[in-house]
Chain A
Amino acid sequence: MPSHPTNFTQDQLDWLPWLPPLPAEDLTPRHWDGLVDPARAKSAYFMLLARDPDILGARTRTDKDIFYNPNAGLPRAERELAAAATSRLNGCIYCASVHARFASHFSKRSADVDQLLAEGVEVDLDPRWNAVVAASVALTETPTGFGVADIAALRTVGLDDLAIADAIHGAAFFNWANRLMLSLGEPG
């Protein structure tokens, strides 16, 4: 029996589906289009989502532009910070592990990322990271308290409006991703 992680970590985790992924022999051109990247046919998560290929493809293309578009806006490290903070608050151990690693990789601030995972979203890092985490938290809570005060706080620490829009999209997207990963399987 696989052991399931009981704490937040930057370690590489596996993810085990609770429903049968689509069998590889059932993949049609529409499914390959939904997978976007053919290597994802090796992933149980993406093969489970491939049961509805149209929404999977649109989800993946949304994700890629929010996190990988290199043109201006929020630095990649802080887009990943928004993803990790959102995952920490919602309680997605798997998502947090992936995006904590990415935040560490791009920021070279692995100790700060570890502190976020250990202490949670109330952690005190530095003013700029605190503001990105606080905005992610406000937008993740249901119902949300996010508003103009969060925008002002992000501007105070130096984010321009495109960077603020990136932070909003990063946190919002992980409210999508967390709910898929939490509800369709578990880390192993």
Chain B
Amino acid sequence: MSHPDVIDLLVGIAPGSHLDRLRAQRVQARDNAQASYLALFHPAEPVDISLLERYAVAVFVAGLHRQPAVTAFYRAGLAAQPSLRLMLDAEIARGATAGPYGHYPAGPLSAEDKDGPTFTAITDVGPRLAAALGHSHMLVFHPRDASADALRKLEAAAWSATGIVTLSQLVAFLSFQIRVIIGLRALAEAS
């Protein structure tokens, strides 16, 4: 089964268009942005983090970025999970805020510390996914608050070291993919 290029799809880049020709000049970046998506959402073996967990985190992250088209794209991966989709919609609404905020190690940068909300899922998504959503909210909005203790919380919710690495890649990659889509959409609109 072949998968369309997600960035082209969500920006609306047609073959032969101005944006298509621009992307063709950075073909490795284009192909590997797509290869990254495939590695995360169509993995050889989804060990340590299930496909359902991957799509649930993606819906949550895209929703926190207030990107309806991206959210809808990943929500399609949860087609068989209507109740989870509703729970995620509720968590997205509860998690809405603006970033980046967070704290620095005590010292000269403490003057730049910015407080903001921390997030705890309240719907019945299960302890593993609840821990992942809490961690994802921090990575989306206040990544400089990340800590070794935050990883211990994931471990306490049965996340393995490899699963935590993939979860971090998932949220971090989506933070990239969403911004490329937003940026190229603006460039297309201004062309």
Contacts and interface: CB of A to CB of B under 8 A. Distances in A.
A139 B135 CA distance: 22
Contacts of B105: 4-6
A48 B164 CA distance: 10
Contacts of A173: 176
Interface residues of A, number: 66
A106 interface: no
A164 interface: yes
Interface on chain B toward A: helix, strand, loop, or mixed SS?
A: helix
Interface on chain A toward B: helix, strand, loop, or mixed SS?
A: helix
Contacts of B39: 52, 54-55, 57-58
Interface string A115-131: 00000100000000000
Contacts of B182: 139, 144, 146
A178 B143 contact: yes
Contacts of A49: 165, 169
A8 B109 contact: yes
A52 B166 contact: yes
Greatest chain A CB density within 10 A among B33, B64, B108 is at B33
B109 A184 contact: no
A76 B46 CA distance: 37
A143 B64 CA distance: 8
A142 B112 contact: no
Interface in B86-126: 98-100, 102, 104-109, 112
A13 interface: no
B139 interface: yes
Given A6-B106, A140-B100, A169 B29 contact: yes
B161 interface: yes
Interface of A: 4-8, 18-20, 48-49, 51-52, 54-59, 61-62, 64-66, 69, 71-73, 89-93, 120, 139-144, 146-148, 150-152, 155, 161-162, 164-166, 168-169, 171-173, 175-180, 182-184, 186
Given A51-B162, A140-B179, 18 more contacts: A6-B105, A7-B109, A59-B36, A59-B173, A61-B35, A62-B36, A90-B100, A90-B143, A142-B100, A151-B186, A155-B190, A161-B187, A165-B187, A168-B180, A172-B179, A173-B176, A176-B176, A184-B165
